[in-house]
Amino acid sequence: MTLERHNYKSHANPRGRDRKDVDNMAPNDMTSSATRLLHTIPGALDQLGIGRSTLYELMASGTIQTVKIGSRTLIAHDELVRYVDSLKAGAAA
């Protein structure tokens, strides 16, 4: 009995990128100039420039709200902007 090997690249999206590849791209590497409305955890980490543990603590405390789509946890771009604005307002006070 032989096992068939699957070529996972054949299941790539039309632009030839897997979802993981797109999530790990720098913002300037995106093919569209539009800002994503929802970010994955790695995408939010890149946008904020913080560590994974810090982001999970902010999510657990409710400081950063998340949304679930299926099994994926996503963070709205507006939520990231709101959080950064709250940091700026706290520093100005």
pLDDT in single tens digits along all 93 residues of the chain: 555 554 544 444 555 555 555 555 555 544 444 689 999 999 999 999 999 999 999 999 999 999 999 999 999 999 999 999 999 998 887
| pTM (predicted TM-score) | 0.62
If one counts every other C-beta atom within 10 angstroms of the C-beta of residue 44, the result is: 25
- From CA 9, how far away is CA 24, in angstroms rounded? 17
Is residue 59 in a domain?
yes
CATH code assigned at 54: 1.10.10
State the total domains in the chain. Answer: 1
Identify the domain containing residue 75 by its residue range: 12-26+34-92
Per-residue confidence (pLDDT) for residue 32, from 0 to 100: 45
pLDDT at 93: 73
Residue 80 lies in a domain: yes
User: What's the confidence (pLDDT) of residue 41?
Assistant: 97
DSSP 8-state symbol, 4: P
Q: What is the pLDDT of residue 34?
A: 66
Q: What is the pLDDT of residue 90?
A: 87
